[in-house]
């Protein structure tokens, strides 16, 4: 069974540009989560999508947005890039929540570098 | 969501058993305890999850005392490839919870 996939692996942008990151969840998983991990730091929750809708977002400005498609894949868009947006962006998926199934499976991440 | 406290770092040697303890005094009745492993520049990898007593899989064991205010991840006979950051999380995704809070984790260094 294929795991969570993310593309691209690396992305280099300049300040003010927009970045689009993509994620495909594990087959059968309907929830997708996005996290930001700056170098040497812990994971910061960004966004949660389930069944095509944004369910919650972390403490990030509105220029961080995304969407989930009917096939449950997801995009994360970061507008007006700033230098401090440079980080590893991780996507995770989970199945329909239930007893003992509250586990997120992570993709390999997209390394975004803002110059 | 319950806050967790873990040691910042630990050192061990190949072949030894490593025990990483996590404190979660405010754990709720419906919360599960989950451990993840993360290598540099990779996504966290699920290791083990439990609710109470002991859980064992092919990778690790998880010990949870009766009061559930702490848990211990046990890695038997570690190798150099076990050098990673280990995160303890408490919570659940259903019942209105919508995110997992990752703390700083424990940086485990395994030496030859």
B24-56 per-position pLDDT tens digit? 888 888 788 889 999 988 889 989 989 998 999
Q: Can you tell me the mean pLDDT for B6-22? A: 96
Structure tokens at A4: 């969570």
CA angle A64, B43, A95 (to 5 degrees): 80
Residue A99 clears pLDDT 60, i.e. is over it? no
- Share the mean pLDDT of chain B: 88
Share of chain A above pLDDT 70, in %: 93
**For residues B90 and A78, what is the distance between their CA atoms, to the nearest angstrom?**
29
pLDDT of residue B18: 98
**For residues B82 and B79, what is the distance between their CA atoms, to the nearest angstrom?**
6
Q: Which of residues 26-55 of A touch B (CB under 8 A)?
A: 31, 33, 35, 42-43, 45, 48, 55
* CA of B15 vs chain A CAs: smallest distance (Å): 27
Cβ-Cβ contacts under 8 Å, A104 against chain B: 46, 93, 100
Q: Which of B42, B46, B98 comes nearest A56 by C-beta? A: B98
pLDDT of residue A96: 58
**For residues A38 and B100, what is the distance between their CA atoms, to the nearest angstrom?**
17
Residue B98 clears pLDDT 80, i.e. is over it? no
Find the residue in B nearest to A94 (Cα): B93
The residue to which tokens 């369910």 are assigned: A55
**For residues A76 and A35, what is the distance between their CA atoms, to the nearest angstrom?**
10
Q: Which helix (H) or strand (E) holds A7?
A: strand A5-7
Q: Chains A and B: how many Cβ contacts under 8 Å? A: 64
Residue A17 clears pLDDT 50, i.e. is over it? yes
Among B93, B88, B12, residue whose Cα is nearest residue A93 = B93
pLDDT of residue B102: 74
Q: Can you tell me the mean pLDDT for B81-91? A: 91
**For residues A30 and A72, what is the distance between their CA atoms, to the nearest angstrom?**
6
- More confident position, A38 or B11: B11
Q: Which of A35, A105, A111 comes nearest B46 by C-beta? A: A105
Beta bridge partners of A114: A13
Cβ-Cβ contacts under 8 Å, B48 against chain A: none
């Amino acid at each position: 069974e294929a795991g969570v996939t993310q593309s691209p692996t690396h992305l280099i942008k300049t300040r003010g540009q927009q970045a689009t990151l993509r994620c495909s969840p594990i087959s059968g998983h309907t929830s997708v989560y996005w996290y930001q991990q700056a170098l040497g730091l812990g994971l910061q929750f960004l966004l949660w999508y389930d069944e095509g809708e944004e369910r919650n977002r972390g403490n990030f400005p509105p220029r961080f947005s995304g969407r989930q498609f009917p096939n449950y894949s997801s995009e994360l868009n970061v507008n007006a890039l700033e230098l401090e947006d440079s980080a590893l962006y991780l996507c995770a998926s989970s199945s329909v929540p239930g007893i003992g199934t509250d586990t997120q499976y992570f993709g390999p991440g997209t390394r975004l570098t803002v110059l | 969501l319950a806050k967790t406290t873990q040691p910042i770092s630990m050192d061990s040697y190949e072949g030894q058993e490593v025990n990483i303890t996590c404190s979660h005094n405010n754990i709720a009745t419906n919360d599960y305890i989950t451990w993840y492993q993360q290598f540099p520049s990779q996504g966290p990898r699920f290791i083990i999850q439990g609710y109470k007593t002991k859980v064992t899989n092919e990778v690790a064991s998880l010990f949870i005392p009766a009061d559930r205010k702490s848990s211990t991840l046990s890695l038997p006979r570690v190798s150099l490839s076990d050098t990673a950051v280990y995160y303890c999380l408490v919570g659940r995704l259903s019942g209105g919870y919508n995110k997992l809070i990752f703390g700083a984790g424990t940086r485990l260094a395994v030496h030859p």
